[in-house]
Structure 1
Amino acid sequence: MNELSDSAKIFIPRSIQRIQKIDKEAFVKSVDKELSIEEIKNALTYNGYQMNQVERLMNKERTGTGTTIKITFDDVKNRDAFIKLGLQIDHMHFPAEKAKQKVNPQQCHSCSIAVYVATD
């Protein structure tokens, strides 16, 4: 029986994978564009956070980088601690907020029924 358990693969549906990923993400808004991603990563590692990815999101017009930063952490504990304390770089402090799931189901724009989405 132990021989079979070593070769077993666990399948996690994509919907659950997205939920697990969202639980590890945080957003920081109104971060100066002069602050580079490397400076932000250095500040996070200096404060003891373990993260996978730091990226600056595009602005509304999609013409360049914006002032919002998305941080993906290794685990939920790092993300929760970061949200409580925020991003601290030198003497600047930026509050953080956790990523939220969409709670509204998609619905048809023709008849407003939330069972399907209209294709035309």
Structure 2
Amino acid sequence: MSAPSRFPRSVYGEGEEPDPRFSLANERTFLAWVRTALALLAGGVALEGLDLALQPQLRLAASVLLVVLGTVTAGQAWRGWARDERAMRRGEPLASPSLAAPLTVGVGLAGVLVLLGLVLR
């Protein structure tokens, strides 16, 4: 009897099964990035949707930045999960996080835009 096909084949079709604890930890990391993406999306929508007393152009810029960051973070969560799972299956070292620095800068910039929107209203 053959093993059932698993999705995505580009990940599970390579190497050998790693220790399940490592795969489960990788999945938890993926879910944490998805929660982060959801929070960024919700923050961007709320910032614009609640009609806060901020300078309108700066509020819109911060909202768009947060929504873009949330969208990119969701995509990167999947890419990072697949990259790390493939590396574990091949017995290779894991890559360093590729989104941490841009995400930090983007959230900081959104904070500055909100602060300026408060000051300049």
TM-score by length of structure 1 reads 0.28
Q: Report which of the two has the higher share of strand.
A: 1
Higher RCO structure (Cα 8 Å, ≥6 apart) = 2
Q: Report which of the two has the higher share of helix.
A: 2
TM-score by length of structure 2 reads 0.28
